[in-house]
Amino acid sequence: MLQEIRQLGFAYAELSHGTRISLVPGILEAVDAGEIRISSLHNFCPLPIGVNYAAPNLYQFSAERPRERELAARYTLKTMEFAGRVKASAVVLHAGGIEMKNYTDKLLDLLGRGEKATPRYEKLCLELDAKREARKEPFLERVKEALKKLLPEAESRGLKLGIENRQGLEELPLESHY
């Protein structure tokens, strides 16, 4: 795959959160041979052993359960190690989300039916804003705490961390325009 990307004229590629551990030897071979350069890795990369599907939200920094936050940090550190091995300069993170009812799918459904300017849509938007605002603080604090711990490790490795905006209105960072 990396050879094909290079043949298309790209000098760099990002490795995604769908990169299985079984692909690592071929990736390292292509990087070591100079066939392609890796610009960034999308957390978690490679995937934890036993996970065979793209899983960007497998473990979340914002999670209420300490064990899940520990796993998010552990696999992020593994991603940073791999970034060093493939000479990537950045790691893209998903911060997690606010544990609450899923409003995104309901709003997208209404939009798909052309109901953006309806009272039902407006009511759902107001409800989402109120609930998200009321619940956000502990989730944001957990993300900040995780980043405080990860930043020194990233800096020591010469890595930049990026936080990707996500589609879900329940996800972090918060986006209030929909």
Q: Please, which residues bridge with residue 12 across strands?
A: 37
Cα 100 to chain center, whole Å?
19
Q: To the nearest 5 percent, what fractions of the chain are helix, strand and coil?
A: 50, 10, 40
Cα(111)–Cα(116) distance, integer angstroms: 5
What pLDDT sits at residue 177?
41
What pLDDT sits at residue 150?
97
What pLDDT sits at residue 98?
94
Instruction: Provide the mean pLDDT of the chain.
Output: 92
- The tens digit of pLDDT for each residue in 32-49 reads 999 999 999 999 999 999
- The tens digit of pLDDT for each residue in 99-139 reads 999 999 999 999 999 998 899 999 999 999 999 999 999 99
For CA atoms 166, 170, 174, 178, the dihedral sign is positive
Report H helices in 86-118. 104-112
What the block records as the tokens of 14 is: 């990002």
Sorted by sequence, the CB contacts under 8 Å of residue 119 that are 6+ apart come out as none
Q: Kindly give the pairing relationship between strand 12-15 and strand 90-93.
A: unpaired
